[in-house]
Structure 1
Amino acid sequence: MKSYIPNFLTLLNVLSGCIATVFAVLNQLEWAALFVFIGIFFDFFDGLAARVLKVQSEVGVQLDSLADVITSGLVPGVVMFQLLNMAERGGWNLGIFGHSTEMTILPFFGFVITLASAYRLAKFNVDENQVSSFVGLPTPANALLILSLPLILLYHNNELLNGIILNPWFLVGLTLLSAYLLNSPIELFALKFKNWSFKDNGVRYLFLIGSLIMLLTLKFLAIPVIILAYILMSLIDRGEKTV
């Protein structure tokens, strides 16, 4: 019976991703972000449950990636589609997609994120070396980066930030950067603790403590800063180990 628990958690990730997709298509991006966060929560604990219960399986590995294609691949692509659509129209629009009669090609560029995420997950499934670390930015981290943008627009409401986020060139550049980071050769540490000693997990503890402080002080603006810190700390940690 216990062998079904991790897969059940993964299916809850799938369900969360499906709900998030509906809200993203309806341009209710705050709700889309909420269900992506819930999906990522289940994504973290399904693997943890499998390790604790010692019921890892090939089916679970494949199911986990399929869930991530939806929650951390499709949804960010739809959200970027909506942001590019808003940027072209020159402002923040909470209307429901489908009511407008105008359509351009540029918003569809957002689905480059979905394509890059799917490719990254396919590579991950056949790479046996990504156990204690990741090669390229994990799709959940990338999803958080993209989903943070509408939350910054909604909750920070800063004219300078709004102007940057709703600039088409910024969004196109971020889409390309996102696709690169997902499939880059950069080695990033994983938040998997084999033991609780600070000596073996110093970079993980520092990252988690720093992330908590930034979230409390910067709120949603902290998310892109945390992703940047994650990449920089991984590069520094990797450099120290090779010296």
Structure 2
Amino acid sequence: MKHIPNFITCLNLAAGFTSVIFASSGSLVVASWLILAAMIFDFLDGFSARLLHAFSEIGKELDSLADIVSFGVSPAIIIHEMIKAAAGTGHGTSVFMSDVLPFVTILMPVLAGLRLAIFNVDSTQSAVFRGLPTPGNAIAVISIVLAAAYSRSPLIASFTASPVALAIYSVTLSLLMVTRIPLISNKFKGFSFSGNEWRFIFAGAVLAMLVIFGIASAPLIIPLYILMSLAAFYLPFSSPPSREDTSSRSTSKQP
């Protein structure tokens, strides 16, 4: 039973690596769905570890290794391919646009790795994250791909057709992972509303947004997460999440 969480983490890694293969061949929609599968496994490994009390240092390190592939490398390849495709569709595209600009995506896996390393040694990031978590980075990337594939939004189409806009988006996401901006942890403390207020509000807002506006609104998930986190921590009437006991933090799994 104690090996179940690590097995699920390996499924996360397998989904992430398969996503890399599809992204490298230009199948960005399939690659995005595989990243979504990796996110589900990433949630389940931590959930099963807490349920079975199967925490370990090996599990913690394995989880970070899986996350850098699934939520750092694969999203970077996806947006690299998107920039190349956008640059190739323009008239009179320069060599810089088509051959140099796509490599700004190198920042993404590098800073994702740095973000995970910082998380593993920072005992304060239990109830509060500092910087965008790597799954959030992946959501921001795949939401653009899925919105472009399954909606007819002219705004999304215009955005994905601009190599400069995509490059700026990639750099911004990369830098957000290593900022010290306080963000709400996505780890629910049980099923009670008390102590999970902002998490339930965010989940409800995302669900309502997707139901009302459809997949075209998916790229707004991460901006909404950041804005709600800032509201939780900085508005005078808000009640920000408190820090949890970090005595067992060294053996917990990366969310």
Does TM, normalized by the shorter one, top 0.5?
yes
Post-superposition Cα deviations, 1:81-128, rounded to whole Å, max 9, x if no partner, equal 10110111127xxxxxxxxxxx61221222221111111111111111
Post-superposition Cα deviations, 1:181-223, rounded to whole Å, max 9, x if no partner, equal 1111111111222233323211111111111111222333222
Name the amino acid aligned to 2:46: G
| Higher RCO (CA 8 Å, separation ≥ 6 residues) | 2
- Number of equivalent positions: 231
Q: How does 1:112-151 map to 2 (within 5 A)?
A: 112-151=107-146
Q: Which runs of 5+ in 2 are unaligned?
A: 91-97, 241-255
Residue 57 of structure 1: aligned partner: 56
Residue 37 of structure 1: aligned partner: 36
- Give me the whole-angstrom Cα distance separating, in 1, the residues matched to 2:4 and 2:111: 30
Q: Cα offset for 1:241?
A: 4.1
Name the amino acid aligned to 1:151: L
Q: Cα offset for 1:7?
A: 0.2
Residue 213 of structure 1: aligned partner: 208
Q: Which runs of 5+ in 1 are unaligned?
A: 92-102
Name the amino acid aligned to 1:194: K
SS of corresponding position for 2:183: strand
SS of corresponding position for 1:149: helix
Is 1:19–1:35's contact at 8 Å kept on the other side of the alignment? yes
Is 1:84–1:110's contact at 8 Å kept on the other side of the alignment? no
Cα root mean square deviation, aligned: 1.7
Residue 158 of structure 2: aligned partner: 163
Q: Cα offset for 1:135?
A: 0.8
SS of corresponding position for 1:198: coil
- Give me the whole-angstrom Cα distance separating, in 2, the residues matched to 1:229 and 1:131: 21
Q: Output the TM-score relative to the length of structure 1.
A: 0.90
Residue 4 of structure 2: aligned partner: 5
